[in-house]
Amino acid sequence: MKNRERKVQFHLYFSEDEYALLKKRTIDSGMTSMADFVRKSVVYGFTYTVDFSELHKYNWLLSNLSNNLNQIAHQANSSGYATNSDLKEALKIMEEVWQSQKSMLSDLQFKNQ
């Protein structure tokens, strides 16, 4: 107790419905502790959940593109040329990256309105 950062304890009573709502909102926030959820709600006035799945997909596409471009550069450096199919594959992945980025940006604009 001596080294505890938060020394003030606060007790609350909830109706069953209120408690169920608190549990649901805690789970929806992605937090595992109701105390953390309540504390962040009080301190910051809100909580939010960030979905990084599109960003992971985008990073995967960028990594894939980077690997393909490195392979094309290696082949071009060793043989003096790159094949048409290699270049088409790189362009296809670049298009997927652009589409993914446009999708993320349009989702972000929609959520902020």
pLDDT exceeds cutoff 60 at 110: no
pLDDT, one tens digit per residue, over 48-98 is 667 777 778 778 888 888 887 888 888 878 887 778 887 788 788 778 878
* Residue-level pLDDT at 113: 44
Q: Helices then strands (H, E): number in the chain?
A: 4, 0
* Residue-level pLDDT at 23: 93
Q: Locate 104 and state its tokens.
A: 């993320």
Q: What confidence category does residue 107 fall into, taking pLDDT thresholds of 50, 70 and 90?
A: low
The runs of H, that is alpha helices, within 5-112 are 16-29, 34-44, 53-79, 84-112
Share of the chain above pLDDT 90, in %: 14
Q: What confidence category does residue 19 fall into, taking pLDDT thresholds of 50, 70 and 90?
A: very high
* Residue-level pLDDT at 20: 95
Residues near 87 by beta carbon (within 8 Å), at least 6 away in sequence? 72
Distance spanning both ends of the chain, measured CA to CA: 45
